[in-house]
Amino acid sequence: MKLKGMGGLMVAALCLSSAAAHAQEKLSLYNWFEYMPQELLDKFSDETGIEVTMDTYDANEALLASLKSGAIGQYDLAVPSDYMVKILISEGLLDTIEPGELQNANKIADGWVEVSFDPGRKHSIPYQWGSTSFAVNRDVYKGDINTTDILFNPPAELSGRINMTDAPGDVLAMAAMHLGIPQCSREKEQLKALNELVQTSKQYWASFNSDTAKDALVSGDVAAGMIYDGFNVKARAEGANVEYAFPKEGYILCADSIVLLKEAPNRENALKFLDFMLEPENVATLTNWTQYKGAVKGLKEHLLPELAEQPEANPPADAPMGTFVEVCDEETQRVYDVIWTNLKK
């Protein structure tokens, strides 16, 4: 009787242990809005048995604020842009991916391992990359659009009908390019000019939205606006007569990565997802859906042929090279934060 009871307890204990193990098969992802197809998450779950939950944000700065205010320990992975990866590293918010922990690390494309924001990919893997510029509704304005005057000194047809992304790094970088001054300048006169430019230009802008940048153009709520290149592809596919600009003053390159967060509650599952997102066929599913670009070897054969023909991926011959958003020193960043806060009032 005692033995039988012990056996029952052992079976019960094993069942509880199995249930607990099953309950732990989870993954929590923190990502941008409209930046991951559900079919890819479903595929990962089908292959591994790991349930994925995903929350979203609309700006790198929103991600940073969330992590610093208590989200560390709640999420396993996040998808910041280049400059924000560097900031997250400096803030001690990322875990280290040890050598040998990722079986597919050798599939990262040449040139995407020794990146300036995470040398050697100690904390991240590539996700998607592209550019941020602005688009103009060609039914509304037919003049030259390859100039940042469209945003900061627009023609009458566009004045008051422009959306800016709700991302200080992007907006202030474009403003610096317009003025021809360095990003993160510490020169007082240049910072004064930057502040005056955005404060004066605010009269031309209808809104600050990142997640609805595409929808605002498609609906006609705005006639021009800052936008990510992949979003512009989708806007055209939805029938908007919008053209993506490559302004002579410059535009922004953006490279997003998946980072392993500090105190990830499901670290082993996170590593499995990172390996999953280094398989070329999975990156192709992502790239075909987002309309951006991937950075793994063997990707091209899995991509839709039309991706190579997109105007957003083919700048004019006289267009400048894009520029990454820079990470300012702490003192300069405080000035930038004040400029942005006053702009949004």
SS3 labels along the chain: CHHHHHHHHHHHHHHHHHHHHHHCCEEEEEEECCCCCHHHHHHHHHHHCCEEEEEEECCHHHHHHHHHHHHECCECEECCEHHHHHHHHHCCCECCCCCCCCCCHHHECCCCCEECCEECCCCEEEEEEEEEEEEEECCCCCCCCCCCHHHHCCCCCCCCCEEECCCHHHHHHHHHHHHCCCCCCCCHHHHHHHHHHHHHHHHHEEEECCCCHHHHHHHCCCCEEEEEHHHHHHHHHCCCCEEECCCCCCCEEEEEEEEEECCCCCHHHHHHHHHHCCCHHHHHHHHHHHCCECCECCCHHHCCHHHHHCHHHCCCCCCCCCEECCCCCHHHHHHHHHHHHHHHC
Per-residue pLDDT of the chain (345 residues; tens, 9 = 90+): 222 233 343 334 434 344 344 445 999 999 999 999 999 999 999 999 999 999 999 999 999 999 999 999 999 999 999 999 999 999 999 999 999 999 999 999 999 999 999 999 999 999 999 999 999 999 999 999 999 999 999 999 999 999 999 999 999 999 999 999 999 999 999 999 999 999 999 999 999 999 999 999 999 999 999 999 999 999 999 999 999 999 999 999 999 999 999 999 999 999 999 999 999 999 999 999 999 999 999 999 999 998 988 999 999 999 999 999 999 999 999 999 999 999 999
Q: Is the pTM of this model over 0.75?
A: yes
Q: How far, in Å, CA of 152 to CA of 155, rounded?
A: 10
pLDDT tens digit sequence for 276-302: 999 999 999 999 999 999 999 999 999
Q: What is the mean pLDDT of the chain?
A: 92
pLDDT tens digit sequence for 208-227: 999 999 999 999 999 999 99
Q: What are phi and psi of 327, to 5 degrees?
A: -95, 120
Q: What are phi and psi of 87, to 5 degrees?
A: -65, -45
Domain covering 130-253+314-344: architecture: 3-Layer(aba) Sandwich (3.40)
Q: Pick from 75, 30, 27: which is nearest to 56 by CA? A: 30
The full set of domain ranges for the chain reads 25-127+256-307, 130-253+314-344
CATH T-level fold of 25-127+256-307: D-Maltodextrin-Binding Protein; domain 2 (3.40.190)
Identical fold for domains 25-127+256-307 and 130-253+314-344, yes or no, is yes
Q: Is 310 left (phi over 0), alpha (psi -120 to 50) or beta?
A: beta
